[in-house]
């Protein structure tokens, strides 16, 4: 199928119109109305085949994930999503692949009222870039540089499932052999938009966990000029993770595994009740996992003793 036919196919599916889209797909550029008195927040992320998703991932899951990882960045800023653009590099003009991709992409877009307002379609190795745009109240964006000594360190949801899915994929050799609950976390991450918005004004610093908790928390500490102490035994884990892994392997997945797209944030201890209330209202569990301290290092403890990660951060498979 020719490029313009693929664009027609995409345009026909990009139906989640918003009043603030003055001109969407079809012209040389989109024209968008930024609401008075709000700041525009912009993020972009690329997914490459074999690096950011295993070969054999269903196109609908790739579509979901391409938007999800971007919306997760807006969530981490406390922003309300509005618009996105989509750059598709495809090895061939496969209309069925694009239709299935859009099933996943548009399902998540509809859930968060995000309008697809433009993009680019080219021939090349399979690669998907998405840009998302959202809004925050002036000065209210949740940044990485606001953590203060004495803050509690928090994380949403559970950690380690996506990394566990990748570990099973490597060990078992096929995507179909991954435990279903773990694979769902890898393929269909849930951007914590409502929680991020509820934390604006409450949290001092926030980011989404894409590279691994300890590595990502290190970014908050570096930006804020502080250190952190983490209780490894207090990290939240799903039942599916407990069923598949135990001991140090489980702890390593929680502390170092990426791709969970949970939020990690810090807040003054007097805000504990407000944070539990905000999380409760958005239906997302949160757990306090540590404390911001003076210094520059992230240290972890298990059973009262220092805990060293077998491997820190997230290494993409296929590298």
- Site residues, Mg ion (CB under 5 A): 120
| Contact flag: residue 130 with ligand ADP (CB under 6 A) | no
Establish if 26 lies at the interface with ligand ADP (CB under 6 A).
Answer: yes
Instruction: Determine if 118 is a binding residue for ligand ADP (CB under 6 A).
Output: yes
Which position among 59, 63, 119, 290 is part of the footprint of ligand ADP (CB under 6 A)?
119
The CA-atom distances, in angstroms, between 271 and each of 75, 202, 276, 280 are: 20, 7, 9, 14
10 binds, among Mg ion, ligand ADP, none (CB under 5 to 8 A by kind): ligand ADP
Distance of CA 282 to the CA centre of its chain: 17
- Residue whose CB is less far from ligand ADP, 90 or 205: 90
Contact call for residue 86 and ligand ADP (CB under 6 A): yes
Q: Name the DSSP letter for residue 36.
A: T
Handedness of CA 124, 107, 189, 183 (dihedral sign): negative
Phi-psi region of 259 (alpha: psi -120 to 50; beta: other; left: phi over 0): left
CA distances from 234 to 124, 218, 300 (A): 45, 18, 11
DSSP annotation of 109: H
Number of residues counted as binding ligand ADP (CB under 6 A): 13
The listed partner (ligand ADP, Mg ion, none) that binds 176, CB under 5 to 8 Å by sort, is: none
Would you say 124 or 139 has its CB closer to ligand ADP?
Answer: 124
Question: Least distance (Å) from Mg ion to the CB of residue 25?
Answer: 11
- What is the maximal distance between C-alpha atoms in the chain? 62
Q: In the numeric block, which tokens belong to residue 276?
A: 């539990």
- The entry of ligand ADP, Mg ion, none near residue 19 (CB within 5 to 8 angstroms by kind) is none
Binding pattern to ligand ADP, positions 5-24, x when CB under 6 A? --x--x--------------
d(CA 28, CA 300): 51
Least spacing, CB of residue 121 vs Mg ion, in Å: 7
C-beta closer to Mg ion: residue 7 or 221: 7
Is the Cβ of residue 84 or residue 263 nearer to ligand ADP in the bound state? 84
Between 30 and 141, whose beta carbon lies closer to Mg ion?
30
Q: What's the min distance (Å) between Cβ of 48 and ligand ADP?
A: 16
Question: How far, in Å, CA of 194 to CA of 210, rounded?
Answer: 18
Instruction: Single out the residue of 57, 70, 121, 266 in contact with ligand ADP (rule: CB under 6 A).
Output: 121
Closer Cβ to ligand ADP, 6 or 206, answer by number: 6
Q: Which pair of structure tokens corresponds to residue 234?
A: 């207090």
Question: What is the 8-class DSSP label of residue 91?
Answer: S
For 27, residues 6+ apart whose C-beta sits below 8 A from its C-beta are: none
Q: Which element (helix H / strand E) includes 214?
A: helix 213-224
Distances (CA, A) of 241 to 124, 252, 305: 37, 12, 23
Q: Which is nearer to Mg ion, 30 or 175 (CB)?
A: 30
CB of 136 to ligand ADP, least distance (A): 25
3-state secondary structure of 18: coil
Nearer to ligand ADP, 27 or 92 (CB): 27
Q: Which does 126 bind (CB under 5 to 8 A by kind): ligand ADP, Mg ion, none?
A: none
Using CB under 6 A as the binding rule, whether residue 215 contacts ligand ADP is answered as no
Which residue's Cβ has the minimum distance to Mg ion? 120
**CA neighbours closer than 13 Å in the CB half-sphere of residue 53:** 26
Residues lying near ligand ADP in the complex (CB under 6 A)? 7, 10, 25-28, 86, 88, 116, 118-121
């Amino acid at each position: 199928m020719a490029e313009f036919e693929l664009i027609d196919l995409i345009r026909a599916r990009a139906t989640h119109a918003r009043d603030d889209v003055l001109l969407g797909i079809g012209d040389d550029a989109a024209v968008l109305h930024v609401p008075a008195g709000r700041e525009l927040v912009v993020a972009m992320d690329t997914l490459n085949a074999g690096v950011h998703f295993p070969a054999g991932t269903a196109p609908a899951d790739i579509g979901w994930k391409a938007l999800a990882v971007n919306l997760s960045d807006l969530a981490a800023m406390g922003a309300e999503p509005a618009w996105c653009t989509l750059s598709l590099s495809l090895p061939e003009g496969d209309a069925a692949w694009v239709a299935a991709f859009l099933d996943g992409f548009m399902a998540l877009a509809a859930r968060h009222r995000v309008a697809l307002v433009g993009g680019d379609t080219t021939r090349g190795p399979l690669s998907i870039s998405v840009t998302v745009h959202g809004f925050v109240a002036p000065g209210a964006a949740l940044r990485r540089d606001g953590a203060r000594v004495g803050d509690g360190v928090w994380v949403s949801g559970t950690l380690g499932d996506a990394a566990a899915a990748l570990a099973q994929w490597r060990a078992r050799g096929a995507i179909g052999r991954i435990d279903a609950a773990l694979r769902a976390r890898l393929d269909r991450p849930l951007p914590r938009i409502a929680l991020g918005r509820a934390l604006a004004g409450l949290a001092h610093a926030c980011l989404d966990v894409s590279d691994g908790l300890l590595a990502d928390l290190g970014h908050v500490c570096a930006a804020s000029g502080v250190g952190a102490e983490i209780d490894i035994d207090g990290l939240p884990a799903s039942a599916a993770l407990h069923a598949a892994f135990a001991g140090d392997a489980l702890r390593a997945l929680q502390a170092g595994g990426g791709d969970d797209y949970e939020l990690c944030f810090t807040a003054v201890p007097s805000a504990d009740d407000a944070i539990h209330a905000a999380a409760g209202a958005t239906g997302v569990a949160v757990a306090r996992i540590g404390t911001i301290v003076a210094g520059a290092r992230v240290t972890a403890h298990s059973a009262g003793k220092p805990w060293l990660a077998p491997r820190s951060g997230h290494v993409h498979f296929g590298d």
